[in-house]
Amino acid sequence: MSPVFLGREAKSVGLMLGRQLGEGAAGKVFALPDMQGFAAKIYHSEAECRKHEAKIELMLAKPPELPALAHGNKSYPQIAWPEAKLYDRAGKFIGFIMPEIDFAHSTSLVNLLQKNSRRAEKISDYYGYRVLVARNLAAVFAELHRAGHHMIDMKPANLRFYPSVSWMAVVDTDGFSIAGADRRAAAEQVSDEYIAPESWQKKPAELGVEQDLFALAVIIFQLLDNGVHPFAGSPKRGGTQATDLQARIQSGLYPYGLEPHAEIGPSTASVHRMFKRTTRSLFDRAFVPGGARPHAAEWRDHLDSLVDSLTPCAAKPHEHAHFGAGCGFCGHDARVEAAARQPPARSRVRPAVRRPVASVAPPRIPPLGMRGGGIAMGRFRPRRRLTLPKPAFQWWHGWPLLLLFALLALTSDELWRRISPVADAGLRAAGLMTVMTMPAQPMVSAFAEPRDYLIRPLGDALTVDLRRGPGENYAVLDQLSLRMPVIGRGETRGADGADWIWVVRSDDGMAGYVPASMLKPAGPAAHIEPAARNCSSDIAALDEGCGDPPDTPPALTRRYRAVLARALGYDRVFLLEQHQSWLEQRADCTLHEFSAQCVQDVDRRQFDELRAGPNLPNAADAVPPARVVHPNQ
Domain of 18: which CATH number? 3.30.200.20
Separation of alpha carbons 453 and 505, rounded Å:
10
Element (H, E) at 492: strand 485-493
Q: In this structure, is residue 355 part of a structural domain? A: no
CATH number of the domain encompassing residue 147: 1.10.510.10
Residue 585 pLDDT: 78
Same domain flag for 451 and 303: no
Strands 321-322 vs 311-312: parallel, antiparallel or unpaired: antiparallel
Helix (H, G, I), strand (E, B) or coil at 332: helix
Return mean pLDDT, the chain: 78
- Asked whether residue 168 is domain-assigned, the answer is yes
3-state secondary structure 196-241: CHHHCCCCHHHCCHHHHHHHHHHHHHHHHCCCCCCCCCEECCCCCC
Query: Do the Cβ atoms of 77 and 101 come closer than 8 Å?
Result: yes
Residue 433: inside a domain? no
Closest CA to 614 of 581, 573, 558: 573
> Could you tell me the maximum CA-CA distance found in the chain, to the nearest angstrom?
112
Please check whether residues 82 and 135 belong to one and the same domain.
no
Q: Whose CA is closest to 233, among 213, 263, 258? A: 263
pLDDT at 361: 34
Q: For residue 263, give the H/E element and its range.
A: none
95 and 162, same domain (yes or no):
no
Of 450, 131, 144, nearest to 304 (Cα)?
131
Q: Is 463 exposed, middle or buried (0-12, 13-18, 19+ CB in 10 A)?
A: middle
131 with 48, same domain: the answer is no
Tell me whether residue 215 is in a domain: yes
Q: Binning pLDDT at 50, 70 and 90, where does residue 591 land? A: low
Q: Distance between CA atoms of 312 and 318, rounded to whole angstroms?
A: 7
Same domain, 456 and 317: no
Domain limits for position 84:
1-104
Provide the number of structural domains found in the chain: 4
pLDDT above 80 (res 102): yes
Question: Is residue 181 located within the same domain as residue 295?
Answer: yes
Angstrom distance (rounded) from CA 404 to CA 556: 67
pLDDT category of residue 247 using cuts at 50, 70 and 90: very high
Lowest mean pLDDT among 152-156, 329-333, 528-532: 528-532
Domain C-terminal end among 70, 104, 138: 104
Give the total residue count for the chain: 633
Q: Is 23 helix (H, G, I), strand (E, B) or coil?
A: strand
Same domain flag for 3 and 60? yes
- 3 state DSSP class of 423: helix
pTM: 0.58
**Would 151 be classed as within a structural domain?**
yes
Convert the pLDDT of each residue in 111-143 to its tens digit: 999 999 999 999 999 999 999 999 999 999 999
Residues 162 and 24 in one domain: no
Determine the Cα angle at 518 with ends 326 and 164, to 5°: 60
Give the mean pLDDT of 313-334: 86
424 in any annotated domain? no
| pLDDT tens digits for range 534-553 | 343 333 444 445 567 878 88
Instruction: Look at residue 429 in the predicted model and tell me its pLDDT.
Output: 39
- Do residues 311 and 119 touch, judged by C-beta distance below 8 A? no
Instruction: Give yes or no: residues 503 and 602 share one domain.
Output: no
CA end-to-end distance (rounded Å), the chain: 40
The answer for residues whose C-beta is within 8 angstroms of residue 441's C-beta and 6 or more apart is 314, 315, 413, 417, 469
- b/e 562-572 (16+ beta carbons within 10 angstroms → b): ebbbbbbbbbb
Looking at the chain, the whole-number percentage of residues with pLDDT higher than 90 is: 45
**Which is it for strands 476-481 and 93-99: parallel, antiparallel or unpaired?**
unpaired
Q: Show which of 505, 521, 537 is a domain's final residue.
A: 521
Residue 466 exposure: Cα atoms within 13 Å on the Cβ side: 23
Cβ contact 76:101 at 8 Å: no
d(CA 589, CA 584): 9
Residue 431 covered by a domain: no
Q: Among 277, 311, 342, identify where a domain stops.
A: 342
